Structure 1
């Protein structure tokens, strides 16, 4: 695939989205992060029609999460959807979530790491990181690391291949790593600087975090147990609450393009479900895969090139070092479950 032109992106957006494929999830546990609305909720709804033993919706808001579960119950009749609370802007919240999951959930077969923000101004989190960077990349990586033992034990106990789907974006091809970041002692710290934001910076930052998602997918695939399949997915340009915080002018432009080419959240969610479940007979194909339009394709030229490969190792090492300091449980997981 490599980098796609704007016309080719528009053409693909206007194409018909293939229908949802159904699978039997009897006995399996599915976790969808960011599941109270949009892509995450639609994906959770689809999973609910496939009879999982447990369907776990990870949401920041108890009120909105509870409402999401009630909607799933009303629409599908599924009674085994459960709410777990997590706020990706807080490392403490992610750690508490992982601790509870470790104690209360017996297995994990499907993890969809979906939550994201696109803030138009600089904001830092309680942990001192730029908000987009922590919510879209650092905290989801911490969550995945903390859940690795459960994924590996599920693979061993049930002779299956758990799958992790990281929701990225075709916009990753427009993400750029600033030249001054390469070779820094901490690339994440360099990316989290308090530079003055303009409205256009918000889109650039979103593209950057989606690029990090694609890179980290490949890094996990390089280092994780072969019993786990980690992939990333581009749901396409969809109607989304993600752009609700953009400045008025930029929001009007995106709403114009939504009317012309956007997929519905339900159509986009089919991509998430396909990435999480399809090709079960070809798991090697799905390891490290980049999925778009229900196909495995090549991500951007930067990602597959030497510079991207070198940077992803730099990024992964830095991320592991930072998260080992954030959470004392990360280092033992790193030592035991990554190679």
Structure 2
């Protein structure tokens, strides 16, 4: 597997310009998106020496689901723009890597087909379903039922999208609809569907913490709240019964003024105080990024765009290749850092770049 920079360039050459910019772009001036990556470059790991790391293991579990490493695949939309098999290929690639796949509600393959594809590779593959709560309760209820029937083991509720972010790259290409014959398949045959039989995903300014209580009443699946950046909201998530939170700024695709997720993490770690797991995504490009996030309090870390580049270039094998490389980098970083187990990672091992000189 080539470097991610080279892999993205290969993907860019293969994709339609509008489709590449849809995947690669962010909101506004793309400040939040850029800062996600830069935040990792501002930190360094303080290694410990003369420590036996021979029997190191990075396997873990996420809400009871086993994972070969503290990494999951974050939800991203419209994978058939990247590969003809779309989310089926992604699911196979993620299953081969042995980690959790969060399937997007805006997938171009229906959730039951995604889970089936994953379990063709690994019958114990774990798939979670990302959910935008819809204004009509009956629509949300049906989406939950579909995820449950498909065998999903958690719901990831996106809470940072009362409206869509303004994305200049999409406007430049006038890319606001999928190509003919391609749909967000999870929205098929729902109340309010158009002549194609597919309903548009709606964003709503009316959603409140009360909706989380309603979700608890409708499903026994664990609920992860995706899009938490403020420590006050992290505390509220715990108080309102969230099973985990995902520190995320939507890959820089919503509020361009949002902080980098890594910068937001320490205050949220303090606010949660170990009561529920904290996940993080945004800007993760190397195994060393994963290690830094874990040291600052994350339980596991999500990757999004790198998976899309692997999918574009190599299909399912490309996805697995990206994730296998990430695993190797995590293990190598832990070895050089003198860390034998994930539980040994803590903030004392992290410094700002230049501070140790």
What TM-score, normalized by structure 1, do the two folds share? 0.34
What TM-score, normalized by structure 2, do the two folds share? 0.33
Q: Flag the structure with higher helix content.
A: 1
Instruction: Tell which has more relative contact order, 1 or 2 (C-alpha 8 A, sep 6+).
Output: 2
